[in-house]
A and B are shown apart, each in its own frame.
Chain A
Amino acid sequence: MLSAKDHNRVVITAASPEAEKEGLFPGMVVADARALLPELIVVEDKAGRETRLLRGLGEWSIRFAPISAVDGLDGLILDASGCAHLWGGEEPYLKEILKRLRAIGYHVRGAMADTMLAAGAIARYGKGYPIIAKDNQAATLGPLPCQALRLEEATTERLQQLGLARIHQFISMPRGALRRRLGAQLLHRLDQALGHAEESLEPICPVEAYAERLPCLEPIQTRTGIEIALQRLLNQLCGRLQQEGKGLRTAVFKGYRVDGKMESIGISTTRATHQANHLFALFEIRLATIEPALGIELFILEAPKVEDAAPAQTTLWSGSAGLEDNGLAALLDRLVGKFGAGAIHRYLPEERYWPERSFRESTDLRETPSTAWPTDRPRPIQLLPHPEPIQVTAPIPDYPPMLFRYKGVLHKTAKADGPERIEREWWTDAGPHRDYYTVEDESGGRYWLFRSGHYRDDHSPQWFIHGFFA
């Protein structure tokens, strides 16, 4: 039984059939209920609990149908088109779903019909056989109360005032009269229930355009089994991608477990590809992280990001395919798969002087530099991650240091170039400019030193070492 606070009283919001049998009903104060039934289990009701639970069940039910949606506050809709035959027909299919849900401990009712509204109505109010054939829909809906059509409350009330409590009482009335007296919604709902008007649903898990499913007769527990499933799905998906001249950039391999949990691994590629072998190798690295537990009963392979795959270009004239090389793409994918995308870096020039910002990272291998790499200023081959302070003896105002001490070693300047003043980008950060010097010491080491800011009366600026020249 669920309870919630309402104006300082704790009242029952939902009760189990057993509790209702004992005379409890939603709206009753919990204290009274406790008096009636001391062994009552009271669970506090939180806002949004049902919706969360329903969504969870919707995700669980993806093993039965690719599209599932929440219907009202207490229902789930599965798009079973083309699914039932996998369970040997509609009846065993529905029975299996209901059996599984009941096994978890839910009280469920199910129905199958051609329209969502009809199925929902029959599941909630129907009494007979729950699988409705197309031509039988109107007849089955007939004896149901008008609430089954999910009309606005005012319309339902008016229907009841008019004595039209059952659908068959007004289903064949002239449409014009119904519209005039009861509004257009009633007609629309009737049309929807009978399949004359369109219905829409919002799937819980958006269905990817490029996805393949592989339900298993027996739950899969072994790695070999998972590999076979993956291979088969990849072959199907890649075959389809190839036919359409497309390739995938990301793919997700999902396994739905018997216990309702979902395991998934994802990969991404640097170029659009439909090479099943290559993709399999990428997945293989992560395959060990799939925990089958009691077994996986449904595998899904989705490709959320699909791009046009350029037809394989054969470079006849130039000696190397460069960044377009297939082998390179495969290698980078493998590296990304093993170490993550953060391991791969490629840089393009940026028209900025501040050394740390004079290049930017490119995530696309096909991107070409928009400006040339500058060569007019000396830049060290090795740049320290952060400038490190040094002690110097330097004549003012703007001469390079005569000697400097770095990590306890004294370097005497033999030759020097500079200064090269680099200003900060004042619109992004404030701070002193840097005056860079290229300094060579007596033993032949070449350094990039800078003085941070101007000399002023009260203090002399700090010097830093920022890199080593070759």
Chain B
Amino acid sequence: MIAKRELIRQLQEELLPLQGFRPPTPGARVDMGLGPVTAAFPRGEFPTGAVHELLSGSPEDGAATGGFVAALLAPLMRDGGICLWIGTRRTVFPPALKRFGIDPDKIVFVDLAREKDAIWAMEEALKCEGLAAVVGEIRDLDFTASRKLQLAVEKSRVTGFLLRHQPRSLGTVAAVARWRVGGLASEPEGEMPGVGFPRWKVELLKVRNGRPGEWIAEWNNETGFKITDHEQTICLPLLPASQNRLVGYSQAGAAG
């Protein structure tokens, strides 16, 4: 019995590289500071050199997602790495990124007119080994396009983030993980009045060979993430896209 389990574990281990989970080279291991979230991934490592997909519905969630991605970019860009931020309707405010531990001058923004161009630019950027990360604000992309992105990162080991704000459809996307980040009311620090640190509900909706889950993350610009486990864990399989209860989808669908 144990031998069988061991065999399965070994086979799984062998499968991982084929699915885009290559172990990082020893020097390139990055600690994302995500604590318990990391355990949801195979081998207990946050997959760098892969494409992550992040969904958001309302503008408030969009801001929360932006903050979460910025917080993830910080460790990736720690040793002077450069990030490309590609989009068609950019609203991110560069000076605010400093609060998430990023030097905004280390980000090159690429603003394009059409989503198609943005996808092309993202693919080209993901092929470029000199980059630390690429963020693409791309609302919709089909499986083939996402597969191309995946192939690009498998070769270059660049980490990609697809920010999908109010997507029209939630088809299959070849990404290593699908996240959804939403804003939560901040917790007052002690007796201090006013707005506290940013707090988010971080949901890992899909992860290849990992365990999806739900956490509460608080971002402190000095100490980093504080992750607390959410009481419930999402059970597989996921709801079909049509029943998805993301805020803002119904309006987006009706408008589109």
Answer yes or no: are A and B bound together in one complex. Answer: yes
Query: Footprint of B on A, CB under 8 Å?
Result: 318-323, 325-328, 330-332, 334-335, 338-339, 342-349, 355, 358-359, 362, 368-369, 373-375, 378-385, 414-417, 438-440, 442-446, 467-470
Chain B residues, CB < 8 A from A438: 194-195
Taken residue by residue from 137 to 163, chain B's Cβ proximity to chain A (1 for < 8 Å, 0 otherwise) reads as 000000000000000000000000000
Q: Is the CB of A373 within 8 A of B103?
A: yes
The A contact surface, by secondary structure, is mixed
**CB distance A381 to B96 under 8 Å?**
yes
List B contacts of A469 (CB < 8 A): 63, 67, 195, 198
A444 near B184 with CB under 8 A, answer yes
C-alpha spacing A334/B94, complex, angstroms: 24
CB pair A349 B92 closer than 8 Å:
no
Q: Could you say which residues of chain B place their CB within 8 Å of the CB of A384?
A: 91
- Whether A345 lies near B93 (C-beta < 8 A) is no
Nearest opposing residue in chain A for B132, CB measure: A320
User: For B199, what are the chain A residues with a Cβ–Cβ distance below 8 Å?
Assistant: 444
Supplied contacts A344-B109, A444-B185, 18 more A-B pairs, CB within 8 Å: A319-B27, A319-B28, A319-B80, A320-B132, A321-B80, A331-B128, A344-B110, A346-B105, A346-B107, A369-B103, A382-B62, A415-B185, A415-B186, A443-B185, A444-B184, A445-B58, A468-B63, A470-B219
A323–B82 touching, CB < 8 Å? yes
Q: Chain B residue with minimal CB distance to A369? A: B105
| Pairwise interchain contact A468-B198, C-beta atoms closer than 8 A | no
Report if A358-B81 is in contact (Cβ < 8 Å); known contacts: A446-B183, A446-B198: no
Chain B residues with Cβ below 8 Å from A325 are: 82, 128, 130-131
B119-145 interface code vs A (CB 8 A; 1 in, 0 out): 011001100111110000000000000
A470 close to B68 (CB less than 8 A): yes
- Answer whether A379 and B93 are a contact pair too, CB < 8 Å, given A327-B130, A343-B112, A417-B195: yes
Q: Nearest-CB distance from B101 to chain A (Å)?
A: 10
The listed residue (A339, A443, A470) touching B112 by CB distance below 8 A is A339
Residue of A nearest to B102 (CB): A373
Candidates B62, B82, B104, B183; contact of A444 at CB < 8 Å? B183
B98 sits at the interface (CB 8 A): yes
Query: What CA separation (Å) do A335 and B91 show in the bound complex?
Result: 21
Alpha-carbon distance between A274 and B204 when the two chains are bound, in angstroms: 47
Identify the closest chain B residue to A320 (Cβ): B81
- Tell me the smallest distance from the CB of A227 to a CB of chain B, in Å: 21
Residues of chain B lying within 8 A (CB to CB) of residue A344: 108-110
Which residues of chain B in 21-80 are interfacial with respect to chain A, using CB atoms and an 8 Å cutoff? Answer: 27-28, 58-60, 62-64, 66-68, 70, 79-80
Given contacts A331-B128, A343-B111, A415-B186, contact A320 B63 (CB under 8 A): no
B193 CB–A CB distance under 8 Å: yes
Determine whether the beta carbon of B183 is less than 8 Å from that of A374: no
Q: Are B188 and A415 in contact (CB under 8 A)?
A: yes
Partner of A348, one of B96, B105, B121, B125: B105
From residue A456, how far is it (CB to closest CB) to chain B in Å?
A: 28
* Cα distance A349–B109 in the bound complex, in angstroms: 15
Residue numbers in B under 8 Å from A349 (CB-CB): 95, 104-105
B105 touches A362 (CB 8 A): yes
Beta-carbon contact of B108 and A346 below 8 Å: yes
- Give the complex CA separation of A438 and B63 in angstroms: 14
Tell me the minimal C-beta distance from A170 to chain B in angstroms. Answer: 72
A338 to B200, CA, bound (A): 38
Give 19 A-B contacts (CB < 8 Å), ordered by A residue.
Answer: A319-B80, A321-B130, A338-B117, A339-B110, A346-B109, A347-B105, A362-B105, A375-B98, A379-B95, A384-B91, A415-B193, A415-B195, A438-B194, A439-B195, A442-B185, A444-B182, A445-B183, A470-B63, A470-B64
Among B63, B64, B99, B100, the one with the most A-chain Cβ atoms within 10 Å of its Cβ is: B63
B124 engages A331 (CB within 8 Å): yes
**Residue on B with the closest CB to A347?**
B94
Cα A358 to Cα B66 in complex, Å, equals 20
For the complex, give the distance between the alpha carbons of A373 and B193 in Å: 26
Q: Which of A321, A375, A382, A467 contacts B221 (CB 8 A)?
A: A375
Give every chain B residue within 8 A of A335 (Cβ-Cβ). 110, 121, 124
A379 nearest in chain B by CB position: B96
Interface hub of B27, B80, B100 (most chain A Cβ within 10 A): B80
